[in-house]
Amino acid sequence: MRAFIGLILIFSLSGKLAAEPLKIAVASNFKPTLEALEKLWAQQHETDWVISSGPSGALTQQIIHGAPFAVFLSADESFADKIHSLGLGAKPVTYARGQLILACKHSAANAAQALAQARRLALANTRTAPYGMAAQQWLTQYGGQLSAQRLQAGSVAGALQHVVTGNTDCALVAASFATLAPQLNWYPLPNAITLKQALVQLQTTAQAESFVAFMQSPAAQQLILEHGYLKAE
């Protein structure tokens, strides 16, 4: 009887281990797409996901300080490379390419006209958010009329929220957000900056390896394209 009970306990514990969720750290811009990918994943896998999102720089610091994530999806290559260089993860893999775009409450003929009319412009944090860094870089290179007061949000999702709520007239955000706020006017930027978004496997588990393979699968890549990203290269 004791042996039988012992076997039950072993199978019970192994079942709990198999059901352990996959903890994923993801950049704010990619969270909506990752949530869509989770449904695709569930068709072939039993493991659930626990998703934590934020600016890539902030997530990087959490990982450095021991946060138990299995995979990190950065909004660029630099933070992914940093994790790898510190010996905290595998070699980064590009899973998507994102683009910077202008979102505004008001209509205009193009991005230049929309910016000229804007009084307040939101962008993500220029130190911790890759899309904020890209926005700052683009603004530095931009030669058109621009007198808008700049407001930094904690993340690129926060920058979008500022224009959705009317706190700012425009925001420089990820092009993938266009489907999330169709009530806004979206303007492609001249000389738009493209961001190579890379992921890093942090734990050497079968589920983490399966996730990395899943993200590179044709089905996942097609869904990523449908959410406004460019093909990973």
Confidence band for 18, pLDDT divided at 50, 70 and 90: low
CB neighbours (10 Å) of residue 88? 16
For the domain made up of 98-194, the CATH class stated in words is alpha beta
What is the rounded CA–CA span in Å between residue 74 and residue 200? Answer: 8
Q: How confident is the model at residue 77 (pLDDT cuts 50, 70, 90)?
A: very high
Distance between CA 181 and CA 185 in Å, rounded?
A: 9
Q: What residue ranges do the domains of the chain occupy?
A: 2-97+196-226, 98-194
Q: What is the pLDDT of residues 57-76, one digit of tens each?
A: 999 999 999 999 999 999 99
Kindly report which listed range (16-25, 176-185, 221-230) carries the lowest average pLDDT score: 16-25
The enclosing H or E element of 221 equals helix 218-226
pLDDT band at 19 (very low <50, low <70, confident <90, very high): low
List the structure tokens of 8: 């039950």
pLDDT confidence of residue 144: 82
On the question of a common fold for 2-97+196-226 and 98-194, the answer reads yes
Q: Rounded mean pLDDT of the chain? A: 93
Quick: pLDDT tens for 149-186. Answer: 999 999 999 999 999 999 999 999 999 999 999 999 99
What is the CATH code for 2-97+196-226? 3.40.190.10
Position 16 pLDDT exceeds 50: no
User: Residue 139 forms beta bridges with which residues?
Assistant: none
